[in-house]
């Protein structure tokens, strides 16, 4: 069901510095009006949540500015128009023309979707963009979403997410046994195989659950968002680097009929706005997380630790087990998995002597 | 001198799916035509050179598509309209409305410009974008170019560039003495202080100069572009990771009057197209360099080596010396240097426990 609204273009076209009049009969001196489009964007984020929600709003604003107002987009936080996790269905049905979210949220209906966001021990942001734009990843993503009537666009990245907050130090695999941790998705499944108990909690519940001891550990995003939630105040916690979400791509979802109803220039604007936010959101996370980490460590005296090598090795081994079990049951998951892993195998050699070697040399 | 041409908008507007007619007197049923703009873009790259030249062309094509043809841009390779290194002056004077290049090429007239491209032991691509978009870098860049009548936009990144091709292994600082190397800019000056002889060579001369022994070593970009130049065939060479160009930002230059003559929607389109290419070019370099490195190592049996720690330490020390000497003589260089270094000091702590820790853990 498509709810795109087409209205006469005078107001919007005036914003573009060009007022056109409707040409009903092709009379001399008249021309067809430029159509305008009023869209809704639903999101999985709290309204204007730092980085994620503000990134979604930025996509909308860029489209409005570039189109001179020919497209206007009202952005809804999770729960404002539809519940956060009905974002995908709302765009699929046309209740909203557009959505902003992370593909791994749709793992329940489409197991392969995790690869279009991030997977444990997978690619970082720079590698993900390489795979999506130049390694066949985006084509697979479009194919995976096509049966749902949705066109996906990369539209943001958090960079490497932190491994989370723990109420004890992790000295070995045995320390994970029985640990209750807020950790969703594939990472949560790997954590379960390692002996822990993954707990499903919305972001808004993380602080209280940590503080009251409902969970022993929790991951959210990274310093920028974790500081916004004051997770360092929830308890005296240890902060660990990440392994399970090494470069989470965010997505814009566009209803197929809504997109196809746009003229070519507005289609190009939608696509370019998403790519622009894909560029700018990672920059925002990088700058703001640097500030926030500085504050967490130097003002709030948070203790940063590292997982021992044997813990990482076990999590890596279990990730491969989970992947291969899922691939055996799901042909689309297998195809996307194989494309992703083939690209990763090649790009990691380049990352090793470029980004990684440089960071060590610096 | 501004050479923007304004022509009647019928053809271009038709491309946008909207034909408007010129309104000379405000008569009923008529409306002002949308102006169209014919721009020239000059570049410092060989025409359609992989990654760099094609990235410049992509900026132009995105602007054309998003504007429905209201802006059309003819792209010139270096030497086609003006010599490559007159790109900056051509945009400044209005001979071309737009340019695509790297800011460090303008070091001769504006020492601080190196920081807006890349400097030895400086930030990688992700950190650069953090500084430019959210750390005050772009504001300083605009200020630095304002006296030249130019507005700069980040529009691409190569990622970490390689340290180059050497005809001998480098076992210590002594091995750099007397070495003739194609290495430009600040990196070249640091190399000179380390006892080497930097040689200025255009990209097109690198292959022959390596092959004939005019130079003992040469850096160009990285596997993607180095393979395109067949540098591995120039001699039996050792290939070293980089230290001097860790995340080279490319720039779009826009003539100030040309930009200000655009309506607001077209200004937004120009800015968004640059940001989109800033996103996509790094992805292209990442994917293509991964492929090219694989071919160089596995097919052409290129030997990848690493600089010893004492060599890196000496190059790092000399970089600080060169920076501080330049800062003493040049107040603008000092201001940009201080902003850059303050951001780097903070962001490297975050990079260490995010990107770097993750790459080691993976």
Q: Which positions in chain B touch A349 (Cβ < 8 Å)?
A: 290, 293-294, 297
Cα B86 from Cα B73, distance rounded (Å)? 19
3-state secondary structure of B63: helix
Q: What is the CA radius of gyration of chain B?
A: 22
Interchain contact, A287 vs B130, CB within 8 Å: yes
Average pLDDT over residues A141-160: 98
Buried b (16+ CB within 10 A) or exposed e, A273-294: bbbbbbbbbbbbbbbbbbbbbb
CATH number of B5-158+247-287: 3.40.190.170
Q: pLDDT confidence of A33, banded at 50, 70, 90? A: low
**pLDDT score for A317:** 98
Interchain contact, B16 vs A263, CB within 8 Å: yes
> Hunting for tokens 């220039």 — which residue is that?
A265
Interchain contact, A276 vs B280, CB within 8 Å: no
| One-character DSSP codes across A55-87 | HHHHHHHHHHHHTTTSEEEEEE-TTTSS-GGGH
Where, residue-wise, is CATH 3.40.190.10 in chain B? 164-244+303-325
Q: pLDDT confidence of B352, banded at 50, 70, 90? A: very high
In the numeric block, which tokens belong to residue B302? 């290129």
**pLDDT score for A243:** 98
Per-chain mean pLDDT for chain A: 91
Q: What are the start-end ranges of the H helices in B146-234?
A: 185-193, 206-211, 223-228
Cα A159 from Cα A249, distance rounded (Å)? 8
Interval A205-222: pLDDT, tens: 899 999 999 999 999 999
Q: Nearest-CA neighbor of B206 among B164, B241, B259, B153?
A: B164
Average pLDDT over residues B5-15: 32
B355: nearest CB among A29, A349, A359 = A359
B133: nearest CB among A29, A284, A352 = A284
**pLDDT score for B13:** 34
Strand extents, DSSP E, chain B: 5-7, 36-43, 71-76, 98-102, 150-157, 164-166, 180-182, 197-199, 217-218, 238-240, 249-255, 303-304
Contact B44, B25 (CB under 8 A): no
**pLDDT score for B3:** 33
**pLDDT score for B218:** 96
Average pLDDT over residues A99-120: 96
Q: pLDDT confidence of A203, banded at 50, 70, 90? A: confident
| One-character DSSP codes across A150-184 | EEEEEEEE--SPP-EEESS---SGGGGTT-EEE--
Q: How far is CA B280 from CA A132, A182, B51, B58, B289, in A?
A: 10, 34, 10, 10, 14
Per-chain mean pLDDT for chain B: 91
**pLDDT score for B32:** 54
Average pLDDT over residues B133-151: 98
Q: Nearest-CA neighbor of A69 among A3, A30, A4, A17?
A: A17
Cα A88 from Cα A107, distance rounded (Å)? 11
List the beta bridge partners of residue B342: none
B129: nearest CB among A20, A286, A350 = A286
In sequence order, which residues have a C-beta less than 8 Å from that of residue A167 and are 6 or more positions away? A210, A213, A216, A217, A235, A236, A237, A238
3-state secondary structure of A240: strand
**pLDDT score for B17:** 33
Average pLDDT over residues A69-90: 97
Beta-strand relationship, B150-157 and B249-255 = antiparallel
In sequence order, which residues have a C-beta less than 8 Å from that of residue B83 and are 6 or more positions away? none
Helix axes A331-351, A137-145, angle to 10 degrees: 160
Where, residue-wise, is CATH 3.40.190.10 in chain A? 164-243+303-329
Q: Which positions in chain A touch B286 (Cβ < 8 Å)?
A: 126-127, 129-130, 134, 347, 350
| One-character DSSP codes across A87-109 | HHHHHHHTSSSEEEEEGGGGTTT
Q: How far is CA B153 from CA B68, B129, B257, B263, in A?
A: 22, 11, 15, 18
Interchain contact, A20 vs B31, CB within 8 Å: yes
Q: pLDDT confidence of B48, banded at 50, 70, 90? A: confident
**pLDDT score for A32:** 55
Task: Mutation target for A interface from B243, B265, B273, B302: give the one with most A CBs within 10 A.
Answer: B265
Interval A42-61: pLDDT, tens: 999 988 899 999 999 999 99
Cα A342 from Cα A313, distance rounded (Å)? 21
ipTM computed for the complex = 0.91
Q: Which positions in chain A touch B273 (Cβ < 8 Å)?
A: 272
Interval B213-243: pLDDT, tens: 999 999 999 999 999 999 999 877 899 999 9
Interchain contact, B129 vs A272, CB within 8 Å: no
Interval A160-179: pLDDT, tens: 999 999 999 999 999 999 99
A83: distance to nearest CA of chain B, Å?
31
In sequence order, which residues have a C-beta less than 8 Å from that of residue B139 and are 6 or more positions away? none
Q: Which positions in chain A touch B357 (Cβ < 8 Å)?
A: 160, 241-242, 306
B83: distance to nearest CA of chain A, Å?
31
Cα A226 from Cα A233, distance rounded (Å)? 10
Interchain contact, B18 vs A21, CB within 8 Å: no
Contact A340, A127 (CB under 8 A): no
**pLDDT score for B307:** 97
Q: What are the start-end ranges of the H helices in chain A?
A: 10-15, 52-66, 87-93, 125-134, 137-145, 185-193, 206-211, 223-228, 256-260, 264-298, 309-329, 331-351, 357-361
Cα B350 from Cα B339, distance rounded (Å)? 17
Residue in chain A nearest B35 by alpha carbon: A18
Residue in chain B nearest A18 by alpha carbon: B34
The H or E element containing residue A238 is strand A238-240
Interval A151-162: pLDDT, tens: 999 999 999 999
CATH 3.30.2000.20 at A164-243+303-329, yes or no: no
Task: Mutation target for B interface from A68, A122, A160: give the one with most B CBs within 10 A.
Answer: A160
pLDDT at B248 over 70: yes
Q: pLDDT confidence of B142, banded at 50, 70, 90? A: very high
Where, residue-wise, is CATH 3.40.190.170 in chain B? 5-158+247-287
**pLDDT score for B55:** 97
Segment among A45-49, A254-258, A263-267, B28-32 with least mean pLDDT: B28-32
**pLDDT score for B14:** 32
B346: nearest CB among A19, A124, A291 = A291
pTM of the predicted protein model: 0.91
A272: nearest CB among B16, B66, B316 = B66
Interval B64-117: pLDDT, tens: 999 999 999 999 999 999 999 999 999 999 999 999 999 999 999 999 999 999
The H or E element containing residue B127 is helix B125-134
Cα B207 from Cα B226, distance rounded (Å)? 9
Q: What's the CATH architecture for B164-244+303-325?
A: 3-Layer(aba) Sandwich (3.40)
Backbone angles phi, psi at B323, to 5 degrees: -60, -45
pLDDT at B39 over 50: yes
On the CB side of B35, CA atoms within 13 Å amount to: 14
pLDDT at B30 over 60: no
Interchain contact, A66 vs B268, CB within 8 Å: yes
Interchain contact, A265 vs B357, CB within 8 Å: no
B18: nearest CB among A20, A132, A269 = A20
pLDDT at B8 over 50: no
Q: What percent of chain B has pLDDT over 90?
A: 86
The winner for highest mean pLDDT among A226-230, A351-355, B203-207, B232-236 is A351-355
């Amino acid at each position: 069901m498509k709810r795109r609204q087409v209205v006469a273009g005078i107001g919007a076209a005036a914003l573009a510095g060009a007022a056109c009049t409707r040409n009903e009969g092709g009379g001399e001196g008249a021309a067809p009006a430029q159509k305008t489009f009023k869209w809704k964007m639903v999101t999985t984020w709290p309204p204007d949540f730092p980085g994620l929600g503000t990134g979604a709003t930025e996509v909308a604003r860029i489209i409005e500015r570039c189109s001179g107002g020919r497209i206007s987009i009202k952005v809804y936080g999770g729960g404002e128009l539809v519940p956060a996790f009905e974002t995908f269905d709302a765009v699929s049905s046309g209740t909203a023309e557009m959505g902003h979210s992370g593909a791994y949220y749709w793992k329940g209906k489409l197991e392969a979707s995790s690869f279009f966001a991030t997977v444990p021990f997978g690619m970082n942001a720079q590698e993900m963009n390489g795979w999506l734009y130049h390694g066949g990843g985006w084509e697979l993503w479009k194919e995976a979403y096509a049966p749902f009537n949705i066109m996906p666009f990369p539209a943001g990245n958090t960079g490497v997410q932190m491994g989370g907050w723990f109420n004890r130090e992790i000295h070995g695999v045995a320390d994970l046994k029985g640990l209750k941790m807020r950790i969703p998705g594939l990472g949560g499944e790997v954590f379960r195989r390692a002996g822990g108990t993954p707990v499903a909690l919305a972001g808004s519940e993380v602080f209280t659950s940590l503080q009251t001891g409902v969970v022993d550990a929790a991951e959210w995003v990274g310093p920028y968002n974790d500081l916004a939630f004051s997770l360092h105040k929830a308890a005296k916690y240890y902060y660990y680097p990440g392994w399970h979400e090494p470069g989470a791509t965010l997505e814009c979802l566009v209803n197929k009929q809504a997109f196809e109803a746009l003229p070519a220039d507005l289609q190009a604007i939608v696509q370019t706005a998403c790519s622009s936010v894909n560029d700018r959101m990672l920059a925002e996370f990088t700058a703001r997380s640097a500030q926030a980490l500085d504050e967490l460590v130097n003002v709030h005296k948070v203790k940063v630790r590292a997982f021992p090598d044997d813990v990482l090795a076990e999590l890596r081994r279990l990730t491969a087990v989970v992947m291969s079990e899922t691939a055996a049951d799901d042909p689309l998951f297998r195809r996307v998995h194989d494309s992703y892993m083939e690209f990763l195998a090649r790009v990691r050699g380049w990352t090793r002597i470029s980004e990684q070697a440089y960071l060590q040399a610096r």
